[in-house]
Amino acid sequence: MSTVLWANVLVDGVVRSDQEDRYALYNHGDKLDSLCKTLGLPSFLEICDTTDLRYNMDDLELPPGVESTDEVMASQGAWIATDEAIRMLETLLAHIRAKGTRFGLLSNQHTEVVTELSEVIAFLQANAAAAQKFNFSVVM
């Protein structure tokens, strides 16, 4: 079992997820965060919500009346405005493509990172009209 990121949007207080495993984005989160800081963008790591991971790893009980960790994340999670997320991820992707940024020591996962970022941007754009916020959830 691997730890991955899932892309989520918040629509009228309800989490909608693409439920696609983004292993490369999770694996290279620190480097992506560093690139974001260099480019003057919001922190990549700060929009990676750990609600689901914490509830599963710590075997926490959901609050009364709550049926899923998505409900907790919706109200207490780490989020960024959708339009800001699109600008951030598009700028990050353009930089990575232009510079040919390497991801990984033994093997280069540049292609995987570019593909995953492109897919997340497409997911965001498809949901932009209705979605108020965006995040990545850390899922195990």
Instruction: Please tell me what DSSP assigns to residue 106.
Output: S
SS3 call for 5: strand
> Tens of pLDDT along 11-40?
999 999 999 999 999 999 999 999 999 999
Cβ–Cβ under 8 Å, residues 31 and 119: no
> Tens of pLDDT along 46-105?
999 999 999 988 888 899 999 999 999 999 999 999 999 999 999 999 999 999 999 999
pTM of the model: 0.94
> Tens of pLDDT along 89-122?
999 999 999 999 999 999 999 999 999 999 999 9
Q: What is the pLDDT of residue 1?
A: 62
Sole residue written with tokens 């696609």: 20
Q: Where are the domains of the chain?
A: 4-139
C-alpha triplet 71, 27, 35: angle, nearest 5°: 95
Cβ–Cβ under 8 Å, residues 61 and 52: no
pLDDT over 70 at 42, yes or no: yes
User: Do the strands 14-17 and 4-11 form a parallel or antiparallel pair, or are they unpaired?
Assistant: antiparallel
C-alpha triplet 93, 84, 74: angle, nearest 5°: 110
Three-class secondary structure assignment of 34-85: HHHHHCCCCCCHHHEECHHHHHHHCCCCCCCCCCCHHHHHHHHCCCEEHHHH
Q: Which residue, among 6, 14, 19, has the nearest Cα to 75 in the 3D structure?
A: 14
